[in-house]
Amino acid sequence: MKRIALLGMPNTGKSTLFNRISGASARVGNWPGITVDLMSAKILMGGHIAELIDLPGIYDLHGFSDDEQVVRHFLANNALDLVIILLNSAQIDRQLSLVLQIKKLNLPCVLALNMSDEAKRAGITIDAHSLEQALQMPVIEISAKYGDGLPKALQAASNILNQVQQKPSPNTIRQLLEEDNQIEHEMERLIQQHVQIPTSLSNNATDTLDKILLHKWLGLPLFFLAMFLLFQFIFTAGKPLQDGLAWALDWLRTDVLEIAFASTPAWFHGLMLDGIYNGIATVAAFVPIIVLFFLVMAIVEDSGYLSRAAFLMDALMAKMGLDGRGFVMMLMGFGCNVPALMGTRVMRSRAMRLLTMLVIPFSLCSARLQVFIFMIAALFTAQQAPLILFGLYLISFITMFMTALLFQRQYKSVEPFILELPPYRLPTAKQILLRGWLEVKHFLNRATKFIVIGVVLVWLMTNFPSNVAPASAGTYAGQVGLLFAPILDPIGINQELAIALIFGFVAKEIVVGALAVIYGMQGDALMAQMATQIDWVQAISFMLFTLIYTPCLSTIATLNSESKSSAFMWLSIAWSLGLAWLVSFVFYQSARMLGF
């Protein structure tokens, strides 16, 4: 009996072709040299009874994923009369490498170019005849979905089976793949001896969870419910830690630093304590909640749930010209916008890259999170806090989705979305702590780099000229605030908040430190002062503007370098500023009209 293998990359229509050829005769069987079952079917081809085996989709014959090892072991242990290689015609530039790898094994092959209709719509023209001569194997364009070209491909396969030829020996194939096998065994030995891999749920448990968490109607509500519960936990568990650190910082200033700087000149005393120390201490007081946030998100991400969130969002994202990868980048942007922007390099389509880069800066990054935690703690109760923060995250998503909808015609792409869903894992404590520490370290590096410079500049602007009262309208800061008053007054942002926003353009980490310097207070005293200066409507308007307006300078520089277009960078800046003002204006004026 003849034996035929069907081989190709994932999502090329291989299963569709297998089902069309085999009909209802498919079965599951064991094969020498591998530990998993493969689908096979008895078919009639060229007057021969042949067994057609559907091999797992692989990207590389010389890779070391589970599926790639299965294919390599199958080829090394089973004699084949023919290999039918299936490629996606629209991605032939990325998939032809697999054909060349198989060709080196000297196996009789037929190359079937599937999805030729999609390739034509994408403007891709393939000269199948000249490609056939170059590869020295039959090359047929087909549509596995509709059956177009399939009789021609089966005839080419039949012709090869009817030729009198010596069946390639598995020993020969094994020798050609021997180097890969040696690497595989060495890799397994090293992993067993030196690597700790987190426990994964069984396939049955994973399937059971996926039926619930990936449910068509329940999946997204469950995802957002999970995020809300996480915020509730972060605030509940983080508040005692935050209060304890704030008490320690107040003690350090009162009982140590005030005494140490008592004999220094007044200007130096003010710069060191009211400027640098107040600014840094106010930001530092919120570090416990930031740490807790990253530790929890590390658990969620390493568990495999975020990949499923991307899968759930893919259908919705497609309606906005994006895909599930874009959603992954948005989630990455919650840590920092910069690596999220750089992560778009995995997208082949420039149009999709640009559209994704346009929406990522609206992600509620860790620097903005610190500002919101401060404002929420100052003006809202512990019961209201998780709801307010969860609402800001929802608005973050809404602004991203709205931006994508408005600009999808300018950046249209038809690139397909491929995503591997990992098994649910139970991350080890070491993984969680390491991942959380790396995120916190990144936050602290940025914070310390920008805050010291920022708070010094804010102190100088709020204390000079020296012949006027500090932080008054006569200071440089007051003059800048008055300059922007016609723009910011309609959205409820006063002069003090305006100065913080201006420095927030450099880095959002400066905002809270700037407020500490402007008011000359820190910790609970600063939050109490803020509660007397603005009401909850102004606070939310300020947070909305901070959420949406121009990202930090690092993000802008990354936008420019990754897009290679200064025009695109300026579009992003102008759109975010305009949208921030409009959203804050609508909210603030509506709230005032309603009597709040």
Higher pLDDT, 364 or 172: 364
pLDDT at position 168: 67
Please, which pLDDT band fits residue 356 given cuts at 50, 70 and 90? Answer: very high
Higher pLDDT, 240 or 300: 240
* Residue type for position 369: L
C-alpha to C-alpha distances, 226 to 269, 288, 573, nearest whole angstrom: 47, 21, 32
pLDDT at position 557: 84
pLDDT at position 6: 93
Whether residue 326 has pLDDT greater than 60: yes
Question: CB of 268 within 8 A of CB of 261?
Answer: yes
Element (H, E) at 339: helix 337-342
* Residue type for position 558: T
Q: Where are the alpha helices (DSSP H) in 465-552?
A: 476-488, 495-504, 510-519, 523-533, 536-548
d(Cα 152, Cα 156) in Å, to the nearest integer? Answer: 6
pLDDT at position 26: 55
d(Cα 506, Cα 316) in Å, to the nearest integer? Answer: 34
pLDDT at position 119: 78
Stretch 460-488: mean pLDDT, rounded?
83
pLDDT digits (tens, 9 = 90+) for 330-346: 877 777 787 778 778 76
C-alpha to C-alpha distances, 244 to 171, 257, 289, 506, nearest whole angstrom: 69, 19, 12, 30
Helix (H, G, I), strand (E, B) or coil at 378: helix
Whether residue 473 has pLDDT greater than 70: yes
pLDDT digits (tens, 9 = 90+) for 54-69: 888 888 888 777 778 8
Percentage of the chain exceeding pLDDT 70: 87
pLDDT at position 60: 84
d(Cα 302, Cα 307) in Å, to the nearest integer? Answer: 10
| pTM higher than 0.85 | no
- Map out the domains of the chain as residue ranges: 2-193, 225-593
Please, which pLDDT band fits residue 250 given cuts at 50, 70 and 90? Answer: confident
- In 3D space, the residue among 436, 508, 518 whose CA is nearest the CA of residue 469 turns out to be 518
pLDDT at position 477: 82
Q: Which long-range contacts (CB under 8 A, 24 or more apart) does 218-225 make?
A: 219/308, 219/312, 220/312, 220/313, 223/309, 223/312, 224/394
pLDDT at position 84: 94
pLDDT digits (tens, 9 = 90+) for 176-231: 777 666 766 766 676 577 555 555 556 677 778 888 887 878 887 888 788 778 77
Residue 291, phi then psi, degrees to nearest 5: -60, -45
Higher pLDDT, 147 or 379: 379
Neighbours of 587 (CB within 10 A): 18
Neighbours of 259 (CB within 10 A): 9
For residue 107, the cross-strand partners are: none
Neighbours of 250 (CB within 10 A): 16
Higher pLDDT, 278 or 420: 278
Element (H, E) at 48: strand 48-54
- The encoded tokens of residue 577 equal 């500023």
Element (H, E) at 580: helix 566-593
Stretch 280-291: mean pLDDT, rounded?
73
Higher pLDDT, 122 or 412: 412
Please, which pLDDT band fits residue 586 given cuts at 50, 70 and 90? Answer: very high
Whether residue 33 has pLDDT greater than 60: no
* Residue type for position 100: L
- Lowest model confidence (mean pLDDT) among 40-44, 81-85, 268-272, 437-441: 437-441
Q: Which fold has domain 2-193?
A: Rossmann fold (3.40.50)
Whether residue 285 has pLDDT greater than 80: no
pLDDT digits (tens, 9 = 90+) for 141-177: 988 877 888 889 999 989 888 885 666 677 777 777 7
- In 3D space, the residue among 524, 2, 3, 6 whose CA is nearest the CA of residue 239 turns out to be 524
What is the DSSP code (8-state) at residue 123? T
Whether residue 448 has pLDDT greater than 70: no
* Residue type for position 303: S
Higher pLDDT, 124 or 571: 571
Whether residue 548 has pLDDT greater than 90: yes
Whether residue 35 has pLDDT greater than 60: no
pLDDT, the chain, mean:
81
